[in-house]
């Protein structure tokens, strides 16, 4: 049984009601609350809705329909909490719009990665489905993002993410407070590279598994802000600006196409 919220019931964590979403069925999910306004205004005329914990929300008009832009904060737990509440408010399509570190030589800073699946190196998704259940993206949403990136000639790659609960040990970074990475995680960067995974980030696996467990749809697009074959560091702000211009462009065009077709 689907447990939808009453029209004016405010969800505890996201601070939103069905009434406030005005029938929106699509949500863009950046991690960073500071990215929400920019993203909302990039897709259409937009208005501020709420700011509650890590969940900042704006509502935009796209092709005569409402689209929610809501930050999730970092990592699986806050993604799952956001999805639980947004699903109850009627959101059916979730598109993560984030940043990532590439682990392949041919994937450059500023490029865009569209993930069609994710390694479940998180803890949260195991609360929704057994660990041998796959974390896969919705094909229609993913194809819309990939075709759009192709059409706009934006440097992009489609493939598997490694979604880790931690930025340092889980992504085999040694520039941490102690410099220590436990035995189980040492050598994993090389292994994911060898297996052809494209990138590290912290939310996609949880998003894919939870959306699938709900019978809903999810996709993920990220801008590359760290290139792990060269450095453990995150690149300077101009790289983020380039990546962000590119993913905004792809998401905006893809959304217009998807909503025009509905
Ligand atoms: N986000 C991550 O989780 N890792 C990176 O390297 C960059 C962004």
Residues 7-65 pLDDT 10s:
999 999 999 999 999 999 999 999 999 999 999 999 999 999 999 999 999 999 999 99
Residues 6 or more apart whose Cβ sits within 8 Å of residue 155: 108, 110, 111, 112, 246
The pLDDT of residue 1 is 75
Residue 101 C-alpha to ligand 1 middle, in angstroms? 5
Q: Is the pLDDT of residue 212 over 90?
A: yes
**Rounded to the nearest 5°, which phi and psi values hold at 19?**
-55, -45
Classify strands 65-70 and 55-62 as parallel, antiparallel or unpaired.
antiparallel
Predicted confidence (pLDDT) at residue 2 exceeds the cutoff of 90 = no
Kind plus residue range of the DSSP H or E element containing 224: strand 217-227
Instruction: Evaluate: CB of 202 within 6 angstroms of ligand 1.
Output: yes
**CB of 201 closer than 6 angstroms to any ligand 1 atom:** yes
Ligand 1 neighbour 99 (Cβ under 6 A):
yes
- Can you tell me which atom of ligand 1 is nearest the CA of 202? 3
Question: If we measure between CA atoms, which residue out of 26, 69, 78 comes closest to residue 49?
Answer: 69
pLDDT higher than 80, residue 251? yes
Do residues 95 and 251 touch, judged by C-beta distance below 8 A?
yes
pLDDT tens-digit readout, 136-184:
999 999 999 999 999 999 999 999 999 999 999 999 999 999 999 999 9
Is the pLDDT confidence value at 205 over 80?
Answer: yes
**Averaged pLDDT of the chain:** 98
Q: Could you tell me if the CB of 225 is within 6 A of ligand 1?
A: yes
Give the Å distances, CA to CA, from 170 to 123, 157, 184.
12, 22, 10
CA distance 20 to 43: 18
This prediction has a pTM of 0.98
Ligand 1 pocket member 200 (CB < 6 A): yes
Q: Which of 96, 120, 157, 228 is labelled catalytic?
A: 228
**Residue of the nearest CA to atom 5 in ligand 1?**
101
Q: Is 58 in the pocket of ligand 1 (CB under 6 A)?
A: no
Mean pLDDT, to the nearest integer, of 65-79? 98
Query: Cα of 207 to ligand 1 centre, how many Å?
Result: 16
Q: Is 246 a catalytic residue?
A: no
Could you list the beta-strand ranges (E) of 63-180: 65-70, 93-102, 112-121, 135-136, 156-164
Nearest CA owner, ligand 1 atom 8 = 100
Of the chain, the percentage scoring pLDDT greater than 90 comes to 98
Q: What is the pLDDT of residues 115-142, one digit of tens each?
A: 999 999 999 999 999 999 999 999 999 9
Average pLDDT over residues 217-223: 98
Which tokens in the block code for residue 111? Answer: 């490029």
DSSP 3-state assignment of 243? helix
Contact criterion met (CB below 8 Å) for 80 and 86: no
Which residue has the least CA distance to atom 2 on ligand 1?
A: 201
49's enclosing H/E stretch is: strand 46-52
Per DSSP, 179 falls in state -
Q: How many CB atoms lie within 10 A of CB 127?
A: 14
200-204 average pLDDT score: 98
191 in catalytic set: no
Give me the helices (H) in the chain, please. 18-21, 36-43, 76-88, 139-151, 188-194, 204-214, 237-261
């Amino acid at each position: 049984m689907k447990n939808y919220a009453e029209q004016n019931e405010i969800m505890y964590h996201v601070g939103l009601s069905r009434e406030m979403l005005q029938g929106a069925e699509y949500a863009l999910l950046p991690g960073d609350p500071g990215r929400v306004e920019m993203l909302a205004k990039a897709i259409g005329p937009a208005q501020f809705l709420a700011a509650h914990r890590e969940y900042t929300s704006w509502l935009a008009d796209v092709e005569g329909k409402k689209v929610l832009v809501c930050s999730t904060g970092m990592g699986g737990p806050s993604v799952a909490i956001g999805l639980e509440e947004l699903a109850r408010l009627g959101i059916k399509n979730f598109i993560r719009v984030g940043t990532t570190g590439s682990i392949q030589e041919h994937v450059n800073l500023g490029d865009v990665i569209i993930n069609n699946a994710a390694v479940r190196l998180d803890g949260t998704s195991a609360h929704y489905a057994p660990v041998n259940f796959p974390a896969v993206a919705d094909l229609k949403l993913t194809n819309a993002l990939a075709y759009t990136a192709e059409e706009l000639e934006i440097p992009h790659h489609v493939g598997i993410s490694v979604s880790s609960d931690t930025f340092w040990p889980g992504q085999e970074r040694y520039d941490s407070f102690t410099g220590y990475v436990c035995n189980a995680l040492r050598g994993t960067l090389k292994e994911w590279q060898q297996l052809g995974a494209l990138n590290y980030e912290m939310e996609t696996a949880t998003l894919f598994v939870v959306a699938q467990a709900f019978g809903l749809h999810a996709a993920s697009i990220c801008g590359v802000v760290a290139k792990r074959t060269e450095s453990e560091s995150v690149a300077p702000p101009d790289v983020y600006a380039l990546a962000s211009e590119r993913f905004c462009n792809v998401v905006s065009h893809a959304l217009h196409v998807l909503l025009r077709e509905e």
